[in-house]
Structure 1
């Protein structure tokens, strides 16, 4: 009100006053968002905190984002509903973990063998059409899908060594819903728990292992302290996750703040590309805590072949899922034809 009184003092200030009165009320004070990530505090220091800090520093008193970690405001499985209602303004998660009621949810997180490398994910979204499909699905539900990016590959970290498919039989594993659904055919028993409870569950024997990340996260969040072995065979080459926002909150932002938010999301995606890629290799070579094990290629091929059948099972569930599966199939076929370094056959 003080600013408005100053604006309307004097004839010279009249045009400025008119402009100020025409400005939406939201823009006359600091815009404040609450954002929750799927990640706990230790992991968030890498996968989201730097991007939010950069945004807040640049936006200044125009906009500030308050970041919350896994399950702090709502359980991860309720993130979508909270964002849709406006209880939370923005979310960083994969579709699968936050239980999005869309036909693309099954492809979030680790869709078995959809990717070989982390760069596959942004190419699928930005060059092969997944962005458009995600936009259609989320816009219909009042949520803005802002951008998707890649995280680490999915590996097993376990108490006991896994050197054959038979060793997976009966193992209680914390993993993503779709990955668990797929791996259950090989005897894995998927277990769902709050993210922050995993370390204790490993110590008490409630879990036999974790298939939620690569080795970088195992070390970063403390899981390497409660597991003994790391299986080098992976279920998928990269976790696919996104930034989302409540559609009304997003539309209220001035265009330059929308652009800034997108740029900071892209910076976060870029940071993870090299942090995970370098970390996975460095910790396999130099990490002192986990012994590496491997299932022979010819035996693991059984799992990769089963993924192709799983894709068709998913595709049969809806037209949207068929569109996504067809894109994934076409992309991977193109990579094989492209040869090295895209695919080694």
Structure 2
């Protein structure tokens, strides 16, 4: 098939137009071509609550895919727990513009909104990860979250979905009754820690990267932060001897947020692309977490399983 000379000339013109300087285009209504955008990409800094081993699954694939799909118009730099700012200061840092976006639950990032008590591992009667997006889509939690963050300045809530269930993993002491929890020093998400404190468990907050050493030295007696998949992935199952099969809750509520000014600087196309990448991340976690839960609860050999009596 022969090339159409007119079409060829137009393609050549568009290629050359991409080399024109910003001053030359002035007030032109034409969108900046890719050749120009690639030399002036929008730069974002996103920090996640998670450490690097976990972040390799819960956020890194998304950011890599987004940066590739953005074709040089935008680049997101990914930072893991505490790399730029302490995790419990993520909200304030994002609000101030120190970072552009955050992946976290509400409580862990130090959000001042009233619904932060529900963020992370709040003991909703959830059993499966799909319970979380279903509650946001059909039972009005999306409107509640949007209203709450609409009351604070310069922070935009973008999306919430599910991570893994929350189980208690202990180093030396098996949990076979609620009384066995008394006095145990356990690292966990703030909401789960407050809930478990009523059974005598002592919530302890340390930097995520220090948890493994803290359990090895005896500073911590266990973790109540994640499910089986994550415990095996990050190495905590190598230190803990026991896993309680009764979950605190069936799924973690995790969200994406952005500095409002940073968000509004994005074109509608880039905003939609970022939202699509968030949905991709939500799907990735559904498969990765729950495939692991199904396998490791049956075939995992690193921890002995214990359960509470039925009447407890």
> Shared topology, TM-score over 0.5?
yes
Count of aligned residue pairs for this structure pair: 290
* Partner residue, 2:4: none
User: CA-to-partner distance for each residue in 1:85-117, whole Å, 9 max, x for gaps?
Assistant: 010000000001011000110100011134221
1:4 is displaced (CA, Å) by 2.7
Q: Does structure 1 residue 154 correspond to structure 2 residue 171?
A: no
Contact 1:4 / 1:17 at 8 angstroms: preserved in 2?
A: no
1:128 is displaced (CA, Å) by 1.2
Q: Does structure 1 residue 163 correspond to structure 2 residue 173?
A: no
Separation of aligned partners in 1, 2:75 and 2:306: 45
* Structure 1 unaligned regions, length at least 5: 9-15, 300-345
Contact 1:149 / 1:242 at 8 angstroms: preserved in 2?
A: yes
* Structure 2 unaligned regions, length at least 5: 1-17
Separation of aligned partners in 2, 1:242 and 1:170: 32
1:5 is displaced (CA, Å) by 6.5
Match among 301, 308, 311 for residue 288 of structure 1:
301
User: CA-to-partner distance for each residue in 1:129-171, whole Å, 9 max, x for gaps?
Assistant: 1111111211222211110010000000101211111111111
> Structure 1 pair 279/131, CA: closer, same or farther in 2 (3 Å)?
same
Please list, as runs of the form range in 1=range in 2, the aligned pairs for 1:262-273 lying within 5 A after superposition.
262-273=275-286
| Corresponding residue SS for 1:122 | helix
Structure having the higher helix fraction is 1
> Structure 1 pair 253/6, CA: closer, same or farther in 2 (3 Å)?
closer
Match among 54, 59, 62 for residue 43 of structure 1:
54
Separation of aligned partners in 1, 2:97 and 2:20: 30
* Partner residue, 1:144: 156
Contact 1:96 / 1:108 at 8 angstroms: preserved in 2?
A: yes
Please list, as runs of the form range in 1=range in 2, the aligned pairs for 1:121-200 lying within 5 A after superposition.
121-141=132-152, 142-159=154-171, 160-200=173-213
* Partner residue, 2:103: 92
The Cα RMSD (Å) is 2.1
* Partner residue, 1:83: 94
Please list, as runs of the form range in 1=range in 2, the aligned pairs for 1:1-150 lying within 5 A after superposition.
3-4=20-21, 7=24, 18-19=28-29, 29-141=40-152, 142-150=154-162
